[in-house]
Amino acid sequence: MSNIYVIIPSSGEGSRFGSSGPKQLHILNDEPILIKTHNIFNIPEITAIFISVNQTIKKNITDLKLRFNSKSEILETGGNSRSETVLKTLIHVSSFAKPDDWIIVHDAVRPFLDQDTLKKFIKTIEATEFGGIMGFPVVETVKLVDNNLRVSETIDRTKVWLAQTPQMFPFHLLKKALQEFKGIPTDECQAIEALGYKPTIFMGDAKNIKITYQKDLSI
């Protein structure tokens, strides 16, 4: 039986958030965002949760005496980008992860994912060969613009989805994709696509937002 491991890249400083500290440690309803996020994955389907940090974040976590659940492990595998962080974490787990194990990557600042939706996502993606991502279809008209911010084309919005996390792929495939990708992928799915595969997209939830700016907290 395949294991399912979760990676939560948590090394970002959150410069766009506009606070004095990392946004994943910002208090939301009396609890750090990172704690809320990782608790989503405390379900039977998940084998372990790896919270990937750098030295600075690890020190902040220690100073704040944050408590994580028994499935969680804090790893100092943070890199200069999300993809580097994920790859360094995959290399770390290579000593025990099997090729057909699954890896879920989820944003540290996406704390509103519903566990029932997560379970349905896992069940759906486990039945695929190449993995998949959670996403949400665009509901507004989409315009393609040029470098001068002039509209050059209207895109068929029925074919446009906003990518979310979690993103879930076979361990061996994701590791290969990130190792071979030229440049820095915007997400894990792009790296998988570069190998020629077409991941499945699963209908997510509009509430599954990524906290980027201070104004997002009011939502």
Q: pLDDT for 144-196, tens place per residue?
A: 999 999 999 999 999 999 999 999 999 999 999 999 999 999 999 999 999 99
Average pLDDT of the residues of the chain: 92
Chain Cα centroid distance, residue 152: 32
pLDDT higher than threshold 70 for residue 216: no
Please state the pTM of the whole predicted model: 0.93
> What CATH number should be reported for the domain holding residue 181?
3.90.550.10
The residue written with tokens 């992928």 in the block is: 185
What pLDDT score does 65 carry? 84
For the chain, the domain total comes to: 1
Q: What percent of the chain has pLDDT over 70?
A: 93
Q: For residue 107, how many other CB atoms are within 10 A of its CB? A: 24
* Cα 68 to Cα 197: distance, rounded to the nearest angstrom: 35
The pLDDT tens digits of the residues spanning 72-97 come to: 999 999 999 999 999 999 999 999 99
The pLDDT tens digits of the residues spanning 115-158 come to: 999 999 999 999 999 999 999 999 999 999 999 999 999 999 99
What pLDDT score does 215 carry? 65
Residue 29 — pLDDT band, cuts 50, 70, 90?
confident
* Cα 129 to Cα 123: distance, rounded to the nearest angstrom: 13
Q: Residue 80 is encoded by which pair of tokens?
A: 């200069």
Q: Residue 210 is encoded by which pair of tokens?
A: 């990524």
What pLDDT score does 35 carry? 94
**Domain region containing 135:** 4-218
Least confident of 2-16, 89-103, 106-120, 171-185: 2-16
Q: What is the pLDDT averaged over residues 42-52?
A: 97
pLDDT higher than threshold 70 for residue 36: yes
* Cα 154 to Cα 145: distance, rounded to the nearest angstrom: 9
What pLDDT score does 3 carry? 98
* Cα 114 to Cα 46: distance, rounded to the nearest angstrom: 15
Q: What is the dihedral of CA 82, 219, 56, 54, to 10 degrees?
A: -20
Q: What is the pLDDT averaged over residues 51-61?
A: 92
Q: What percent of the chain has pLDDT over 90?
A: 79
Helix or strand run (H / E) with residue 119: helix 115-126
